[in-house]
A and B are shown apart, each in its own frame.
Chain A
Amino acid sequence: MATGVVNTVFRLRSFLAAYARSLVAYGVVAALWIAASLLIAGFGAYAHLRYIVELAAVIGLVAVGQTVAVIAGGIDLSVSAVITVTAIILPLLSFDVDVSGLGAIALALAVAAGIGAVNGFAIGFLGLPPLIMTLAMATILQGLLVLIAGGSAISVSNATLDWLGSAHVLTVSAGIILWLAVAGACLFWLHGTRSGALVFAIGANPIVSRLSGVPIPRITLAIYVLSAICAGLAGLLLLSMNGQGYVGIGDPYLLSSIAAVVLGGTSILGGRGSYLGTIAGAVLLVTMTALITVVNASEGWRSVILGCLILGMLPLSGRDQSR
């Protein structure tokens, strides 16, 4: 019993030491929330803060996959396209037989997983650089989407999605609960399982990983399928909040997902970091957007500040070790 406690304390201490950078983001969020609540009327209201977290849930979901991809030394630039794909094809997959709507959801996620599988296969088994493959996939998907959906918005009616978009459990939105569930699963996988540790190994040094017997192709495939499914989930959540899907709905989320990862203290080079920080990163992003909106700043300012934020986080995030 005593050893159990000692072990937990030991793990907690090393966990904290290792993830100190992730905690910085939480500090910044807390500081901003406190300051904004004091200075702006209504900012600190529960409903408003909950709304911020609801919006952050979409980014947070996408960023689950992105975080894992980045820790493994890669990146997924196709997430925004996958979000749009899911949001657009779900209405097309609705059948009368499927009363609850779960069937359509499962199919849509299967499509997303398929896209991720193509990415993962090309990256893990063919050896294509993740940047290139996912960028190319994004381009191809965007072209296909325009060909399929054109410029119109497609409304959806799906029982499960309706529930997702409007239900509250114990005053917490269903969307946030979904995010928490996925986040918990991700954290458990990365820090509580051996295969999660292998993700860190691959990102830290793929050569050593390979020679140590890590099945890199298989794990890579799984990572990109996961990333696509997370993007799919985000797309569904977005759809449930919006009511309709259209080409371009997912576009803001690519850069947001990467920003959340970087702001959360995970190194873009891979091998270290945690989804814990990404959570704070997502909330931080939405908070900043909210603040900018309050100040009536435009899309242009949002973009500039986002970019500067990432640049500012760089010293914390990691340098290129070699010359």
Chain B
Amino acid sequence: MSAEGRRLYWLIQWRRNDGLGALFLVLAAFVVLYAVLFPGIFAVGALAKFVQGWFPTAMVAAAQTIVMLTGGIDLSVGPMVSLGSVVAASTMQGPLGIFGGVLAVLALGACVGAITGSFVAIGRYPAIIVTLALSFVLRGVALLILPRPGGFVPPSLSEFLAGSHPTAAFLLVLFVILWKLYQATPLGIGLIAVGDNAEGAYRSGVNVTAVRLTAYILSGVLVSLTGLYVAAQTGSGDPVIGEPMTLAAIAAAVLGGVGFLGGQGTMRGALAGSLLMSVLINVMFFMGLPLVAQYVVQGLIIVCTVSLPLLRSTWQRAS
């Protein structure tokens, strides 16, 4: 790339940080608080464990962000994680082995994503109801395959993904690299264009259908692979383990500045949002709060985060 090109690219990237200052500050503050409560967090082992706990939330937040940028939403994230874990735990013991199992999960994510995407992008049905309906279907399928938590995940895989190796961190970095690459393609930039002004994007020659379809396929793949990861973490497949993750994904994305109307938001914001939520949960744990308190806090976070900019603009307009 020429010097001019590099300059333009990095200027644009720097611009994407606009509006994230407050989030980064709050995040830093909570990280400090966490370190104070648990000084051992910076040991390699503890840090790895933390990242392993953060990883699923980060990935579903990322998946939700991809879809929300196009102006859509995905309410089937949770059941898809469950289904991913179920498929992983069910296929790896057979002749397919680890490799086959991973492929099966990948294929699952891509197919379901393609189905969702077809309904939304080609059929033009509202994403809310399509993904809500699909969440029923996915939940049902997961229950049919594994009515109770079970299945089999090879210990070697569990050790590799969720053991003492810093694999999760590497996977996160890998994801960020892949995302930056995708964002530098016309389809990737198209995500924001379609979310911002779909009619305008169409008139500009952007393949709006392809952009939306790809968004749902990528999201589906990310989410089902997260299910695989969760299965490795727990050692088994669980048909309902992912239920709370839908809200967690939305919460993290919203916290990170991703808007519902589309076009607004960044992946770095969503990842920061998911990190903040993970830190919050851990802090609450260390403060002795019961596990369910985190749901209450999540709900409150969402309400506050969404209402603050609305309140601010109302005050601004009135004065």
Q: Which residues of A contact B (CB under 8 A)?
A: 75, 122, 126-129, 131-133, 135-140, 142-144, 146-147, 255, 258, 262, 268-269, 298-308, 310-311, 314-315, 317-320, 322-323
Contacts and interface: CB of A to CB of B under 8 A. Distances in A.
Given A298-B143, A301-B144, A311-B130, A319 B125 contact: yes
B203 to A, nearest CB: 9
Interface residues of B, number: 48
B128 A136 contact: no
A308 B134 CA distance: 8
Contacts of A303: 136-137, 139-140, 143
B306 interface: yes
B293 A301 contact: no
A142 B124 contact: no
A232 B275 CA distance: 37
Contact of A317 (B129, B140, B147): B129
B141 A139 contact: no
A314 B133 CA distance: 10
B134 A139 contact: no
Given A126-B310, A323-B208, A143 B299 contact: yes
A90 to B, nearest CB: 22
B318 interface: no
B143 A136 contact: no
18 contacts: A127-B314, A136-B298, A137-B299, A138-B299, A139-B298, A139-B299, A140-B299, A143-B293, A143-B296, A300-B144, A300-B147, A301-B140, A304-B137, A304-B140, A307-B136, A308-B133, A318-B125, A320-B126
Contacts, number: 145
Contacts of B133: 306-308, 310-311, 314
B65 to A, nearest CB: 15
B199 A322 contact: yes
A136 B299 contact: yes
Interface of B: 73, 119, 123-126, 128-130, 132-144, 147, 198-199, 202, 208, 239, 247, 250, 254, 260, 290, 292-296, 298-300, 302-303, 306-307, 310-311, 314
Given A142-B295, A144-B296, A319-B123, A307 B247 contact: no
A269 B132 CA distance: 14
Given A258-B132, A307-B136, A310-B129, A128 B303 contact: yes
Contacts of B293: 143, 147
A129 B260 contact: yes
Contacts of B139: 300, 303, 307
Contacts of A133: 303, 306
Given A306-B136, A323-B202, A135 B302 contact: yes
B125 A128 contact: no
Given A314-B133, A323-B199, 19 more contacts: A127-B310, A132-B260, A132-B303, A135-B299, A136-B298, A136-B300, A140-B300, A147-B290, A147-B292, A268-B128, A298-B143, A300-B239, A302-B140, A303-B136, A303-B139, A303-B143, A306-B140, A319-B123, A323-B208
Nearest to A312: B133
Contacts of B73: 131
